[in-house]
Structure 1
Amino acid sequence: MQVSVETTSPIERRLTIQVPAAEIDEAVSARLKDTAKNVRLNGFRQGKVPMSVVEKRYGPSVRDDVVGEVMRERYVRAITDESLNPAGYPSIDATINEAGKDLEFVATMETYPEVELASIEGTDIERPVVEITDADVEEMIETLRKQNADWQTVERAAANGDQVNINFQGYIDGEPFEGGSAEGHELVLGSESFIPGFEGQLEGAAAGDEKTVSVTFPEDYQAEHLAGREATFQVKVNQVSAQVLPELDAEFIQRFGVESGDEAAFRDEVGKNMHREADQAVENRVKQQVLDALKAANDITVPSALVQQETDGMKRQAAQQFGLGEDFDVSQLPNELFADQARGRVQVGLLLAEVIKQNELEASDDEIRAKVQELAAQYEDPQEVVDYYMDNDQLKTQVQSAILEEKAVDKLLEQTQVADVEMSYQQALAAAQQQAEQGGDDSESEQESA
């Protein structure tokens, strides 16, 4: 077997592989002899069909099978001999495939990039310092009450915060447009869930009122044919309801797992949860800044096969998140919606894998167990969760990857200049969310080559 390797890009290799004709012809001949033993043809007994007949009838298909097997086997041997690390499946095409001639085929493949990490020395990192006050806890409890509120019909004009039941029909240039109508729709005024300006024009309307609402769709509206267009809606108000908050009593408190129903215990539990959320927000904000700096300093070429794998995974997550069902064909979702974020995740994963490798970072069983115990603390039976994770190799591997990522980020953080910035609880959560959106949420990346 002869192999030549051509570098066609920083991560693409083109292998030209030749296999002596004698090897192929001998393998085809042996396969045809085996085939002849079992062939059944009219006028011949089983196993007595002349080889010339067998060759004429089965020769081309047998050769195709043999050549396919040889190309796959020799490809694997070639990448092993040449110490190549493929990322994804190759494209294999036979260029010479004739009886009596050496077989020649070309395998085009992407490899994992060779990463030479550039330092992020001197990068400025902002680390939020969050103090959760009694007022923050009180605000959170009010939010929980609103989330569990009931709606009571009222005989008055609608105000901000009320819920209205409406029928509506939308028009553009005097013509109804698709998706612009509904009956019995429940809308909370001030929720900003409708087109900007729509909800405010319904304040002051009472049950039975009919109103004409004029709005302009945002320029970045998801439906392109409506973006930036002026529209009018004929709206009928069927009912106005006011929000009725639940009492902060034992029954309400027990909904959140505080079996005693004690208000002080409930406030303490809410505070603990807020502290956990704040700590996570701080960690995520710092991590995303580090990952952004790492990407900016190391603009590596990433294999398209890995980007597609990540894209497919994100599609499945999106389908699950939006309840599209297990039978939903995720290929219906355009790659363009996920490609940039997927590319960023793959880039970060490859870079973090190199950080882990260079610093010889490891995660022991004790560290994995401790991390699982931390995750399990929020569940009703933490030990059951710990046992479930520790008995599942796949879940343990996921936890191990998370620990290694944390260690890699900590190692990178040593190269940066960290400045503490005081933030409120709400500011910290909002900043972490904004940072994740701007950075493509790279903190969920996987170390593809770890």
Structure 2
Amino acid sequence: VTPEVELPNLEEIEIEKLKVNVTDAMVEESIETMRKQNAELETVQRPAQQSDVVTIGYVTSVLDAEGNVEKSHEEADANVDLELNELRIEIKDALIGRETGEKVSVTVKVEEDYSDKSIAGKEIRYDMAVKEIKEKKEPELNEAFFEKMLGEPVADEAAFHREVRKHLENRMMQESDTMAENMAIAKVSETAQVELPETLVRRQMEGTKKKDAEEAQKRFQKSMNDVLQASGMSPEEYEEKIKKQAEVVVLQYLVLDALASKFDISVEKSDFEEELAPLATAYKLSTDNLLRAVFKDQNRITEMGNRIRYRKTVKELLNRVRVKEVEKLSPAEEEKAE
């Protein structure tokens, strides 16, 4: 039995929504990112520079408190992009200025709160041999590049800039809408009155546990218990964590279901046609034929119908609450948007 949900007065709820403002600098940065991502690598015979990609052979060794090798991993090769912000500064500094054939060692102190507790707080030594230095050759801003990036030809560079700006605006508007939706759902859920059914919470928890276990096996070839042990999280802490997550999911599901009933949201055939139109276009099929094929799969049609109902409910919710456009979200609203 679905529990009774007492919804708040939606007109009293205010959320923040980010204004979309695409600057010339953002357009230029986006174009430069495109060029970097599509750069070709050319082997060079000179010392490595900050913009290069360096191929190294390396051995990783974990050191004990006295600086002796506790354990080592077999030698492996890697392509190291010296431009990446995520690259440890010690490794970057050790490789910049090195030439092909040179060897270098660097020791890195692992953070105390590092997720892998077996090496947290310890020192790691990287013994590296430079095998190849590659320079990035960015593509020219020409018609071929414009068409490759946009999927269609444009008249000139000015037209390319306009299209890039349009794409940025569309993406930022989608992100702004998504954040506003998340905030609205979170605020309504916070103030709604409902008793969460333990069976639904437990079912959600079991689903999360199953997904986590599958992910642990797929990514690390380990059981969930092994992953928890490596991360330093106890089974009790993990249980409490997923319980809180499950309660949020169930609460928001019940609130959205109540809102859909309040708004008298229905899913029509035209909604399914609109949902399938992009897929039909991509595969050059008629929407009617695709719709008939989908309707033969009850699970798929139920899933799609729920997705459409959810989207229509959230859209109507944003029409009912007060929306304040801001340049930057307040810390509390930013947390709700995540």
TM-score, normalised on structure 1? 0.58
Taking the aligned partners of 1:288 and 1:137, their CA distance within structure 2 comes to 27
Matched, 1:154 2:47: no
Contact 1:158 1:202 in 2 (8 A): yes
Deviation at 1:352, TM superposition (A): 0.6
Q: 1:389 to 1:147 in 2, by over 3 A?
A: farther
Contact 2:16 2:180 in 1 (8 A): yes
Residue pairs, 1:16-415, within 5 angstroms: 85=1, 112-119=2-9, 122-169=12-59, 170-173=61-64, 174-176=67-69, 182-195=75-88, 197-256=90-149, 258-260=151-153, 262-263=155-156, 266-267=160-161, 269-298=163-192, 300-302=195-197, 303-308=200-205, 310-311=207-208, 314-315=211-212, 336=238, 339=242, 340-373=244-277, 375-376=278-279, 380=282, 388=290, 391-393=293-295, 394-414=299-319
Taking the aligned partners of 2:152 and 2:11, their CA distance within structure 1 comes to 51
Contact 1:215 1:231 in 2 (8 A): yes
2:169 aligned partner, one-letter code: H
Q: Deviations over 1:270-300 (max 9, x none)?
A: 4443333122101111011112213322474
Contact 1:207 1:237 in 2 (8 A): yes
Q: 1:422 to 1:296 in 2, by over 3 A?
A: same
Q: Deviations over 1:297-340 (max 9, x none)?
A: 247435234313542675599589x7899xx9999987949835
Deviation at 1:119, TM superposition (A): 4.3
* SS of corresponding position for 2:327: strand
Residue identity over aligned pairs, in percent, reads 23
Contact 2:180 2:337 in 1 (8 A): no
Taking the aligned partners of 2:177 and 2:72, their CA distance within structure 1 comes to 42
**Structure with the higher fraction of residues in helix conformation:** 2
Q: 1:257 to 1:413 in 2, by over 3 A?
A: closer
Q: 1:331 to 1:180 in 2, by over 3 A?
A: closer
Q: 1:415 to 1:261 in 2, by over 3 A?
A: closer
Deviation at 1:152, TM superposition (A): 1.4
Q: 1:228 to 1:192 in 2, by over 3 A?
A: farther
* SS of corresponding position for 1:242: strand
Contact 1:196 1:215 in 2 (8 A): no
Taking the aligned partners of 2:113 and 2:287, their CA distance within structure 1 comes to 44
Taking the aligned partners of 1:385 and 1:181, their CA distance within structure 2 comes to 55
Deviation at 1:213, TM superposition (A): 1.5
Structure 1 alignment gaps of length 5 or more = 1-84, 86-111, 442-450
Taking the aligned partners of 1:272 and 1:202, their CA distance within structure 2 comes to 40
Contact 2:114 2:121 in 1 (8 A): yes
Contact 2:41 2:136 in 1 (8 A): yes
Q: Deviations over 1:101-155 (max 9, x none)?
A: xxxxxxxxxxx54433344653431111213344433322222221121211222
Taking the aligned partners of 1:383 and 1:134, their CA distance within structure 2 comes to 40
Q: Deviations over 1:151-196 (max 9, x none)?
A: 1122222222211112223331234466756432111113144445
Contact 1:148 1:245 in 2 (8 A): yes
Contact 1:162 1:188 in 2 (8 A): yes
Moved more, 113-122 or 361-370: 113-122
1:278 aligned partner, one-letter code: M
Contact 1:129 1:422 in 2 (8 A): yes
Structure 2 alignment gaps of length 5 or more = 229-234
Deviation at 1:353, TM superposition (A): 0.8
* SS of corresponding position for 1:281: helix
Cα-Cα RMSD? 4.1
Q: How many residues align?
A: 316
Partner of 2:231: none
* SS of corresponding position for 1:405: helix
Q: 1:417 to 1:182 in 2, by over 3 A?
A: farther
Q: 1:409 to 1:199 in 2, by over 3 A?
A: same
Q: 1:220 to 1:332 in 2, by over 3 A?
A: closer
Q: 1:178 to 1:283 in 2, by over 3 A?
A: farther
Taking the aligned partners of 1:229 and 1:134, their CA distance within structure 2 comes to 45
Partner of 1:421: 326
2:201 aligned partner, one-letter code: S
TM-score, normalised on structure 2? 0.74
Contact 1:389 1:395 in 2 (8 A): no
* SS of corresponding position for 2:12: coil
Deviation at 1:362, TM superposition (A): 1.4
Taking the aligned partners of 1:313 and 1:270, their CA distance within structure 2 comes to 41
Taking the aligned partners of 1:132 and 1:420, their CA distance within structure 2 comes to 15
Taking the aligned partners of 2:153 and 2:106, their CA distance within structure 1 comes to 50
1:146 aligned partner, one-letter code: K
Contact 1:369 1:390 in 2 (8 A): no
Taking the aligned partners of 2:150 and 2:225, their CA distance within structure 1 comes to 41
